[in-house]
Amino acid sequence: MLSDESLRRGGVSRPPAGGGPGAAPHARPVWPLALTAALVAALIAVPAFAGSPHWLGRLSQLVTGSPLRPEHAVVLALALALVARGVLLRRRAAWYGLVTLALLGLLAVLSGDDPLWRLPLLAAALGGLWLERGRFPVRPHPERVRAAVKTGALLLAAATLFSLVFGGVSVRSVGDVASGLGATGAPMDGASWLPGVLGLAGAAGLLVLVITLLAPDPAPPPGDEAERARVAGLVLHPGSDTLAPFALRRDKAYVFSADGRAAIGYRVLFGMAVAGGDPVGDPASHTDAVRAFLSMCRTTGWRPAVLGASDALLPAWGRCRSIGFGDEVVIRPAEFTLSGRKMRNVRQAVKRTENFGVSSEILPERELTPALRGKLLDVASRSLGGAAERGFSMNLDELLTGYHPGAIVAVAYDEDKEPIAFQRYVTAGEGVSLDAMRRDPGGPNGVNERLIVEMVEYAAAHGHGLVSLNFAAFRELLDADERGLLEKAGYRALHLLDPWIAVESLYLFDKKFRPSYKPRSVVFRSWFDIAWLAAALLTLEFGRTRPAQRAAGPITEPVHHLGRS
């Protein structure tokens, strides 16, 4: 029987209890307890402020028992403030921290260091914490616990060595070093400055330990070949979204619905678990896959987010927030035509390539010869000017390596039959989605338009109802005739950044085809996550991906990740 840990890491998730998406028994708010911990932290810090009122000092002693030295007050207040934040994030380590503080208080009372009247107060606090233990599902990851133990041991060893070599501590008094790190005030031999240094090191070490134990789980390894094979089968489901193929990126991990008929591919960065688009697989199981993803995020401490969620599935994300950040550009082959005045620019681009003697072909990636594959990779390298491949939400990795042998490649040749441009498309659901568009900078203009037009014709001939090109980010802002002050500032920023992010130029290119638009949103848990969300999304979209490598030889046994033969 699988353990909970293997279920979580292996991609099979138990659905949480409760009625709504992502519901769970521990979903009751914890902010009252977090607020209480924060107020206690503020009271603990009172002795550090010399001019505080006398009544506030008495209130502080109500919490601490014995009076605290200012340096002790600062360190404990900072540590408890971190614990209060951990309570808000439902970290089990924060609950352990509160229980430890209550137990230490009880021991101080029983040993006679603190007044006896604090005993019922501390006992009540300990009992209340015990009753609330089920509301903290995010357990410390074993790696975090090991890191905390190693940090503590290293700190103790370094402090001991430092005290012996530089602090004048004798070998028989080496046991006092631990007391010095705790800044207990116990007498110790050695230099007069040593207790202050050890106390400072102990304070820093305590904060590091608290931060380490409260941290979310580390990022999981990407899905293995068995998981990716399962997801590849789900991508082929007729109800899959046009973004479904991009779940097969080799840097994504997976979580599956309880019935295994839907899955979400995601990456973890800066504590954000970012899913790319809607779940893949049977639409009837999409909501259950969302529930499994949210449940996993609760038990790992990750903040859930989605880049490219469709409007139809937004209700499945429950209380999560959403921001519409743009639209997916979609062409319907049954409605597409080059006729009419509005399509004149596209017609002229296609005609220009014909005048230059450009020819083309469309074929599965598995049929690329090694020689042609190498030439196309050279085109890709020249197209990017030596820059790395980038992207996450609508980009598939392993460009022309044979890893996705069923992907469709449209190739343009010059009059000497040398490749000058190519586009790769991947199939999912009712349509095909553009993955990569590369053109030799020295080639004639209009080649990209030519290949898109021919791909639309190919899709129509092969029964594909949609051709998805890319994202038109901030389309409403770029398309607006009138803009307010903030909109003008945003538009100006996009215009200035366009040489690096190509948002405006890509929108203008897509607009020529008179496409339809499918709204896409960013989904996230809380507005408090917005800074981490922005950092994660920008890194995922504009960070480097592993460059494609030329195949060592002909691909004779495809792995069937996209397009089964």
Contact call for residues 421 and 449 (beta carbons, < 8 A)? no
Alpha carbons 533 and 270: distance in angstroms, whole number? 8
Contact call for residues 136 and 301 (beta carbons, < 8 A)? no
Helix (H) or strand (E) holding 420: strand 419-428
Q: At what angle do helices 54-64 and 31-44 cross, to 10 degrees?
A: 120
Contact call for residues 169 and 184 (beta carbons, < 8 A)? no
Helix (H) or strand (E) holding 438: strand 431-439
pLDDT tens string 494-526: 777 766 667 778 888 888 899 999 999 999 999
Helix (H) or strand (E) holding 175: none
**DSSP 8-state symbol, 312:** G
Query: Parallel, antiparallel, or unpaired: how do β-strands 272-276 and 262-269 relate?
Result: antiparallel
Helix (H) or strand (E) holding 255: strand 253-256
Rounded to 5 degrees, what angle do the CA atoms 510, 516, 520 make? 90
**DSSP 8-state symbol, 416:** T
Alpha carbons 99 and 77: distance in angstroms, whole number? 16
HEC per residue, 523-557? EECCHHHHHHHHHHHHHHHHCECCCCCCCCCCCCC
Q: Residue 178: how many CB atoms within 10 A of its CB? A: 15
User: Which regions in the chain score pLDDT beneath 50?
Assistant: 1-25, 547-560, 564-565
Q: At what angle do helices 194-214 and 70-88 cross, to 10 degrees?
A: 0
Buried-exposed string 318-347: b where 16+ CB fall within 10 A, e elsewhere: bebbeeebbbbbbbbbeebeeeeeebeebb
Residues in the chain: 565
Alpha carbons 539 and 543: distance in angstroms, whole number? 5
pLDDT tens string 178-203: 777 776 656 667 778 887 888 888 88
Query: Is 52 exposed, middle or buried (CB count within 10 Å of its CB: 0-12, 13-18, 19+)?
Result: middle
pLDDT at residue 419, rounded to an integer: 95
Using alpha carbons, select from 513, 502, 503 the residue that is nearest to residue 478.
503
Q: Is the dihedral of CA 390, 393, 394, 398 positive or negative?
A: positive
Contact call for residues 507 and 475 (beta carbons, < 8 A)? yes
Using alpha carbons, select from 470, 540, 541 the residue that is nearest to residue 267.
540
pLDDT at residue 184, rounded to an integer: 60
pLDDT at residue 562, rounded to an integer: 57
Alpha carbons 546 and 177: distance in angstroms, whole number? 48
Query: Which residue is associated with the tokens 């003697």?
Result: 357
Dihedral-angle region of residue 524 (phi above 0 means left; psi in -120 to 50 means alpha; beta otherwise): beta
pLDDT at residue 554, rounded to an integer: 39
pLDDT at residue 561, rounded to an integer: 55
Tell how far CA 403 is from the center of its chain. Answer: 24
Using alpha carbons, select from 10, 388, 6 the residue that is nearest to residue 223.
10
**DSSP 8-state symbol, 69:** P
Tokens coding 101: 């503080």
Contact call for residues 400 and 377 (beta carbons, < 8 A)? yes
